[in-house]
């Protein structure tokens, strides 16, 4: 069998590796043409998607499990920084609350010590992707397979199509129409990447949040090594970037770093956090979108995966993790059903298993955004303290570990018993 994968983001690239493991060839197509993008960038860093423009991503135990299955774990761990504790502060850096994440992950049922500590990784240091300048605009399905049409007028054919083309997915729109469009939330994340050692910036915490709920102010920092860290601040009144232009590093860095650092000083954040933004060598805006929950992730010979299926607000750090879970489930299903005649069963099970999980992750993310941006500061901070006390002393489970192999085993057993 041969698959067409539209979108070579982190999830599309991981899908290609997963299909390779079960003997299915695939071709990755991405709308970005790296040569054109480099020529057009006038010497600025090329941003083809969020991954390349900076910022870090937190990978928890399920994501690490899938990466191990794909043979990528060792490579990722070499470039990543462990993040065993998350800290939450008031906006001025006082009143610290700590969540012992390793303990919470153990308590959720993760027995393997290699997978218990989440890691932060700079996205551009993740696994390799390919950029070909092929933008999917439409597809049609025949008895034998799918024909995909690209914006440059060329076509490709395959046995099936995987839409891994992100939160504004053209594949999803082709299947379900324009009604399932990602909505702009009004929030822009400004993400700076800074060489902390070079600028003598002290940063103790590996992952820290500074919040004032009354004023809707939120800043977070992520340490990616002793040298490198990211700082991210959310604003509510900046203009919405044009779709496709977001994630591009700002062209006038001195002006933007000064504007944002001055704003942070006004908010009253600790001096080292302000200094991180002021000294960032790259700042990229990320417009935050939310995708309405979908009832299905497939139609005929087409599935959607990653943000294309369940793009969500980033507040719980679950987007990529949920996309990698999709990849793990798809891999396990193809291990059990290998023949072309099995495709309807694989896709139907994939959708049945993944839709509830995608919806749950999107809901947790929305709830977390509400926790950060609304309500009273005193009550919100107190509630967080109570919740973390319960988690740290194992009185409540954060969530249960998602074992994609076990999930597929149970679904297949369920089929057999019917
Ligand atoms: C500020 C921020 C912080 C985040 N932090 C975390 C975190 O800590 N942990 C976590 O798990 N997740 C996090 N996420 C979410 C995570 O970044 C996404 O879930 C993940 O990158 C999605 O990967 P993807 O491959 O599905 O989509 P994308 O990375 O969007 O890739 C889609 C690819 O498809 C291509 N494409 C688009 N349209 C077409 C087309 N028509 N034809 C061909 N190609 C096309 C694009 O060029 C792109 O390369 C965060 C997101 C944001 C915005």
This complex has an ipTM of: 0.97
Tell me how far the alpha carbon of residue 317 lies from the centroid of ligand 1, in angstroms.
12
pLDDT for 52 equals: 46
Q: Ligand 1, residues 13, 28, 49: which to mutate, most atoms within 8 A of Cβ?
A: 49
- Is the CB of 205 inside a 6 Å radius of any atom of ligand 1? no
- Is the CB of 230 inside a 6 Å radius of any atom of ligand 1? no
Q: Ligand 1, residues 28, 46, 56, 57: which to mutate, most atoms within 8 A of Cβ?
A: 57
Q: Which residues of the chain have pLDDT under 50?
A: 48-53, 125-127
pLDDT for 37 equals: 65
- Is the CB of 54 inside a 6 Å radius of any atom of ligand 1? no
CATH number (3.30.9.30, 3.40.50.2300, 2.60.40.790, 3.30.2010.30) of 47-123+184-289+380-398 reads 3.30.9.30
pLDDT for 248 equals: 74
Instruction: Please count the CA atoms within 13 angstroms of the CA of 305 that sit on its side-chain side.
Output: 32
- Is the CB of 166 inside a 6 Å radius of any atom of ligand 1? yes
Q: Hunting for tokens 């291990």 — which residue is that?
A: 335
Nearest CA to ligand 1 atom 9: 317
- Identify the helix (H) or strand (E) that includes residue 318: none
Tell me how far the alpha carbon of residue 303 lies from the centroid of ligand 1, in angstroms.
17
CB 9 within 8 A of CB 53: no
CB 236 within 8 A of CB 372: no
Angle in degrees, CA 38, 41, 44, rounded to 5? 105
pLDDT for 47 equals: 52
Q: Ligand 1, residues 66, 124, 151, 166: which to mutate, most atoms within 8 A of Cβ?
A: 166
pLDDT for 335 equals: 97
- Is the CB of 402 inside a 6 Å radius of any atom of ligand 1? no
Give the orientation angle of helix 404-417 with respect to helix 343-373, to 10 degrees: 130
Nearest CA to ligand 1 atom 6: 317
Count other C-beta atoms under 10 Å from residue 169's C-beta: 27
Domain boundaries, the chain: 1-30+129-182+291-374, 47-123+184-289+380-398
- Is the CB of 8 inside a 6 Å radius of any atom of ligand 1? yes
| DSSP secondary structure of 247-287 | TPPPS-HHHHHHHHHHHHHHHT--HHHHHHHHT-SEEEEEE
Q: Hunting for tokens 């704003």 — which residue is that?
A: 263
Q: Which atom number of ligand 1 is nearest to the Cα of residue 222? A: 8
| Cα 217–chain centre separation | 22
Whole-angstrom distance, CA of residue 48 vs CA of residue 131: 9
List, for residues 273-326, the tens digit of each pLDDT value. Answer: 999 999 999 898 889 999 999 999 999 999 999 999 999 999 999 999 999 999
Tell me how far the alpha carbon of residue 124 lies from the centroid of ligand 1, in angstroms.
12
Mean pLDDT of the chain: 90
CB 383 within 8 A of CB 370: no
- Is the CB of 64 inside a 6 Å radius of any atom of ligand 1? no
Tell me how far the alpha carbon of residue 394 lies from the centroid of ligand 1, in angstroms.
33
Tell me how far the alpha carbon of residue 144 lies from the centroid of ligand 1, in angstroms.
31
- Is the CB of 150 inside a 6 Å radius of any atom of ligand 1? no
Q: Which atom number of ligand 1 is nearest to the Cα of residue 12? A: 25
Tell me how far the alpha carbon of residue 228 lies from the centroid of ligand 1, in angstroms.
22
Residue 382 CB partners (closer than 8 Å, separation 6+): none
Angle in degrees, CA 264, 267, 271, rounded to 5? 55
- Is the CB of 307 inside a 6 Å radius of any atom of ligand 1? yes
Q: Yes or no: is domain 1-30+129-182+291-374 CATH 3.40.50.1400?
A: no
Query: What is the edge-to-edge ordering of all strands in the sheet holding 155-158?
Result: 136-141, 146-150, 155-158
CB 159 within 8 A of CB 171: no
């Amino acid at each position: 069998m041969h698959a067409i994968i539209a979108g070579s983001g982190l999830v599309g690239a991981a899908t290609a590796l997963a299909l390779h493991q079960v003997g299915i060839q695939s071709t990755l197509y991405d709308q970005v043409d790296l040569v054109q993008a480099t020529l057009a960038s006038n010497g600025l860093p090329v941003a083809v998607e969020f991954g390349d423009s900076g910022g870090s991503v937190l990978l928890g135990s399920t994501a690490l499990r899938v990466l191990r299955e794909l043979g990528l774990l060792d490579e990722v761990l070499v470039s990543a920084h462990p993040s065993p504790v998350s800290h939450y502060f008031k906006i001025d850096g006082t009143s610290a609350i700590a969540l012992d994440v390793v303990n919470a992950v153990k308590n959720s049922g993760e027995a393997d010590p290699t997978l218990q500590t989440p890691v932060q990784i700079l996205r551009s240091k993740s696994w390799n992707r390919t950029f070909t300048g092929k933008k999917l605009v439409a597809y049609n399905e025949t008895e034998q397979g799918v024909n995909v049409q690209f914006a440059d007028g060329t076509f490709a054919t395959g046995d099936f199509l995987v839409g891994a083309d992100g939160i504004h997915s053209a594949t999803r729109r082709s299947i379900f129409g324009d009604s399932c469009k990602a909505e702009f939330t009004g929030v822009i994340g400004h993400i700076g990447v800074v060489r902390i050692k070079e600028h003598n910036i002290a940063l103790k915490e590996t992952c820290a949040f500074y919040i004032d709920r009354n004023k809707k102010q939120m800043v977070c920092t992520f340490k990616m090594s002793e040298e490198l860290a990211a700082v991210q601040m959310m604003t509510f009144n900046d203009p919405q970037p044009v779709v496709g232009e977001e994630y591009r590093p700002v062209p006038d860095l001195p002006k933007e770093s000064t504007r944002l650092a001055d704003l942070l000083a006004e908010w009253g954040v600790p001096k080292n956090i302000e200094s991180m933004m002021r000294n960032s060598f790259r700042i990229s805006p990320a417009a935050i979108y939310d995708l309405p929950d979908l009832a299905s992730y497939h139609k005929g010979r087409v599935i959607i995966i990653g943000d294309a299926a369940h793009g969500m607000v980033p507040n719980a750090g679950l987007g990529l993790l949920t996309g990698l879970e999709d990849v793990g489930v798809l891999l396990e299903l193809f291990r059990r059903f290998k023949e072309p005649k099995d495709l309807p069963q694989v896709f139907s099970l994939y959708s049945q298993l993944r839709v509830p999980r995608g919806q749950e992750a999107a809901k947790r993310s929305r709830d977390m955004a509400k926790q950060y941006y609304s309500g009273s500061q005193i009550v919100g901070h107190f509630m967080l303290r109570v919740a973390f006390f319960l988690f740290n002393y194992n009185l409540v489970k954060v969530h249960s570990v998602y074992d994609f192999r076990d999930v597929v085993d149970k679904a297949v057993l369920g089929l057999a018993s019917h």
